[in-house]
Structure 1
Amino acid sequence: MPDPQYSNSAIRSFVRREGRITVAQKKALEELWSKYGLTLQSDSLELASIFPIQTPIVLEIGFGNGDSLARQALENPAINFLGVEVYRPGIGHLLTQIESLALTNLQLINEDGVKVLTSLADQSLAGVQIFFSDPWPKKRHHKRRLIQPAFVDLLWHKTIPQGWVHLATDWENYAIHMNMVFEQYAGFSPCLHEEIPKQAPQRPLTKFENRGQNLGHGIWDLWFRRI
C-alpha cells in the first residue's frame, strides 16, 4: 500500500509564462472566464458542484492551446473534463472554442497542476492526462521534471481504483524516465495497448505532433492503471 503521507510542496507542474496574447484571447478571458473558468477559493475544490451532470471526471494538466482537449470534450459527452493551464493565451484560445462548440462538460483552471491536484478529494478522478510536459532535457535539470515519485504518489491518491494516467512525450529520454518512475511505484501498473480502458478518451493528434512526425520525430504514449 503506498504511503498516504505524501509531500509535493517542491513540485510544480509548469513554469509560469505569459507570452503574446491576442485581442481575441484577451476578450475571451474577460468575457468567458466567469462562465467556464474556476478559481481556487480555498485548499479544497468540490468537483460535484462544478459539473451539472455527474459523470466520470478526467483532469488534463497543461493543455497548451486547448485544441486537443476541446475535441476530446466534444467527442466524449459522457465524460467531464477539467483542464489546468498556466499559459493565459492558451486559456483564452480554448475559451473561444468552448463557447463556439457549446461544450458543457469542460471547465478550466488557471493554476499550477500540483496545487489543483492537492485541492481535490482523494479518489475523485477517473483519469489524468499529461501531454508533452516540459522534458527538461539537460541532465542537471532532470529534477525539475514533473513526473517524479512524489507526484506519482499524489496521482495515486487522487484517482479512483482502476483509474488511469495517460502520458505523452516526444522525448525518448523523458519517456524512459517516466516509465521508470511509474514502474518503481507499487500503486500503478503499465497498460498494454489492449488493456487501455475502453472508456478512456483517445488523444487527438495536434498540429505540433503532426509537424514532428513529418520531421521524423518519435512520439511515446504511456498508460498506467491504478491498482
Structure 2
Amino acid sequence: MPHIYAKYISKVLELPLKRDNFIVYDRFVNERAELFFVSQDGVDFALTLRRKNNRYLIKYDKATRPASTFILTKALSNLAIALECEVENSNLALVQKKESEVSPWLLKPNFFEKNPTFLDGKQAELEVGFGSGRHLSAIAQEFKEKIFFGIEIYKPAALQLLGRIERENMPNIFVVDFDARLFLQTLPSDSLDKIHIHFPVPWNDSPHRRVFVKKFIDEAFRVLKPNGTLELRSDDEVYFKDACGLILEYKTSNFHVFKNRQILVSSKYEDRWKKQGKDIYDLIITAVKKQNDDKIECNFDFENAMDISIAEQICSLPAIVFDGIVVRFEDAFKSESGAFIIKIILGSVDMPESKYIYTRDGISSFYPTKPLPIRDNMIAFKKLKEKLYGKSN
C-alpha cells in the first residue's frame, strides 16, 4: 500500500488546512503516533505519522482506509507537501492507475442503508467469491433483466471485473470488495432470488474461518425470497459433508445434493479440478423463512459528549465479550484544539468494525462513518452506551 519515508519534517500545520480538494481538519497525538483527519476529493479518512528508525513513516490508517488507492495516494502526497518533508523514499509513483475512480458499479458498505428500495420489484442474485468473474459475467450476460452482485475481497480480481463491466457493457453487475458476511447483513429481507458460493476456501483446519456457517445461512434465509435458493459448489468432500451437516441441524430443511452436475458456466478453478479427475459437489438449499424478523433499532448516535477523563480510563479496560459480540477500546489521541478521539472495535467477534469516536465542541460521533446498521453492531453499540452512560437505551 502507498507510504512515504521522510528524513525530517519542516513545518507544523496551521489547521484547518485547505488546498484545492485536500483538507486537513485536525491533528491528534499520543506517545506512539500522530493521526491526521483529512479529506481528499470529498472522501474523509485518516493518515498516520510515526517515528521509525530515525525517520518518519507516513501511511494510511487501516481503520479508515478509503476504497480508492488513487485517492489515498493523492492525500499522502499532499500531506507530505504541506509538512514540507524531505522524502527519502516512497512507492507513490507505483500507483499509476486510477483504479475504478470511483466506479458506479463498486458498492460502498452502506449502499443499502442509503438505497433501501433499490431491489424492490427486481430479480437479483449474489455470488460470493467470484474470482476470475467468468461465472458471474456469463450468467449476467445470459439474464440481462436481472441484477447481480459479486463479492470478492481480492482487490485485483475486483478491479479486473470492474474493467470488464465497462468494456463489455454489463451494467447489471455490481461489485462488493468487503466481507460477504457483513454485506449480507446489510441487504433487505426477501430481496434475493439466489446466492451462489462456488469453491470457497474449505478451512478444514480452522472451521471458524469459513463463510458457510450457521450465522451466514440464517442471514441467507432472511435475504432470500420465499423459495429462493442458497447454492454451494465445492470440490472438497470434507467441507461439503460439514455443510450438509449444518443444514440437517435445522428443524425444517429442504435441500438437494448433486455430484458432478453440469452447470451453465464453469470457472477456471473448476475446469482445472475436472482435468485432474476430482469430484464436484453441489448443495442446493431452498430458504426456510421465519414468520417474523427479530429487529433491533439503532441510530448510532451518542446522547452526550464523552469526557476526556472517561476516555483515558476506558482505554485501559479489558475487552467486553459476550454472545459472540465484542467491544474493545484500542487507543486514545488528543488534539491541541481540545478535541480527542478513541479508537474502538465493535461488532461480531469474527468480523468486528474499527471506528473512531470523535469528540469535539461538546459532541461525540463516529468517524469517518457510523458502523454498518447490522444486528451485531447494534447490540455492541447498546453495550457501549451501557459502559458510557450506565444504561442500554
TM-score normalised by L of structure 1: 0.75
Please give the alpha-carbon distance, in whole angstroms, between the structure 2 residues aligned to 1:203 and 1:189: 23
1:119 to 168, 179, 186: 186
Please give the alpha-carbon distance, in whole angstroms, between the structure 1 residues aligned to 2:257 and 2:269: 25
1:5-26 residue CA offsets vs partner (Å, 9 max, x unmatched): xxxxxxxxxxxxxxxxxxxxx8
Structure with bigger RCO (C-alpha 8 Å, 6+ apart)? 1
Instruction: Report the 3-state secondary structure (helix = DSSP H, G, I; strand = E; otherwise coil) of the residue aligned with 1:104.
Output: coil
Distance 1:192 1:181, change over 3 A: closer
Is it true that 1:144 corresponds to 2:209 in the alignment? yes
The structure with the greater share of residues assigned to helix is: 1
Write out aligned runs for 1:52-63 (5 A).
54-63=121-130
Instruction: Report the 3-state secondary structure (helix = DSSP H, G, I; strand = E; otherwise coil) of the residue aligned with 1:130.
Output: strand
Aligned to 1:15: none
Aligned to 2:280: 219
Deviation, 1:137, is 2.4
Please give the alpha-carbon distance, in whole angstroms, between the structure 1 residues aligned to 2:150 and 2:111: 18
1:144-171 residue CA offsets vs partner (Å, 9 max, x unmatched): 2222222211111111111111111110
Aligned to 2:242: 177
The one-letter code matched in structure 1 to 2:276 is: L
Unaligned runs of 5+ in 2: 1-95, 289-393
The one-letter code matched in structure 1 to 2:108 is: T
> In the alignment, is the contact (CA less than 8 A) between 1:65 and 1:94 conserved in 2?
yes
Please give the alpha-carbon distance, in whole angstroms, between the structure 1 residues aligned to 2:112 and 2:138: 30
Deviation, 1:41, is 3.2
Aligned to 1:29: 99
Aligned to 1:90: 157
Please give the alpha-carbon distance, in whole angstroms, between the structure 1 residues aligned to 2:264 and 2:198: 9
Instruction: Report the 3-state secondary structure (helix = DSSP H, G, I; strand = E; otherwise coil) of the residue aligned with 2:202.
Output: coil
1:176-217 residue CA offsets vs partner (Å, 9 max, x unmatched): 111111122245410367xxxxxxxx5511222111111111
> In the alignment, is the contact (CA less than 8 A) between 1:86 and 1:111 conserved in 2?
yes
The one-letter code matched in structure 2 to 1:174 is: Y
Aligned to 2:270: 209
Instruction: Report the 3-state secondary structure (helix = DSSP H, G, I; strand = E; otherwise coil) of the residue aligned with 1:38.
Output: coil
> In the alignment, is the contact (CA less than 8 A) between 1:28 and 1:93 conserved in 2?
no
Please give the alpha-carbon distance, in whole angstroms, between the structure 2 residues aligned to 1:192 and 1:142: 21
1:51-70 residue CA offsets vs partner (Å, 9 max, x unmatched): 7x952111111111212111
1:72-99 residue CA offsets vs partner (Å, 9 max, x unmatched): 1011112210111111010111112211
Distance 1:204 1:181, change over 3 A: same
Write out aligned runs for 1:68-79 (5 A).
68-79=135-146
Deviation, 1:42, is 6.9
Of the structure 1 ranges 95-104 and 83-92, higher mean CA displacement relative to structure 2 is found in 95-104
Identity over the aligned pairs, expressed in percent? Answer: 26
Distance 1:123 1:187, change over 3 A: farther
Please give the alpha-carbon distance, in whole angstroms, between the structure 2 residues aligned to 1:43 and 1:79: 17
Unaligned runs of 5+ in 1: 1-25, 194-201
Please give the alpha-carbon distance, in whole angstroms, between the structure 1 residues aligned to 2:146 and 2:100: 27
> In the alignment, is the contact (CA less than 8 A) between 2:257 and 2:283 conserved in 1?
no
Instruction: Report the 3-state secondary structure (helix = DSSP H, G, I; strand = E; otherwise coil) of the residue aligned with 1:34.
Output: coil
Distance 1:133 1:77, change over 3 A: same
TM-score normalised by L of structure 2: 0.45
Aligned to 1:39: 108
Instruction: Report the 3-state secondary structure (helix = DSSP H, G, I; strand = E; otherwise coil) of the residue aligned with 1:191.
Output: strand
The one-letter code matched in structure 2 to 1:185 is: Y
The structure with the greater share of residues assigned to strand is: 2
Deviation, 1:131, is 0.8
Aligned to 2:199: 132
> In the alignment, is the contact (CA less than 8 A) between 1:59 and 1:81 conserved in 2?
yes
Deviation, 1:43, is 7.5
Larger Rg: 2
> In the alignment, is the contact (CA less than 8 A) between 1:29 and 1:91 conserved in 2?
no
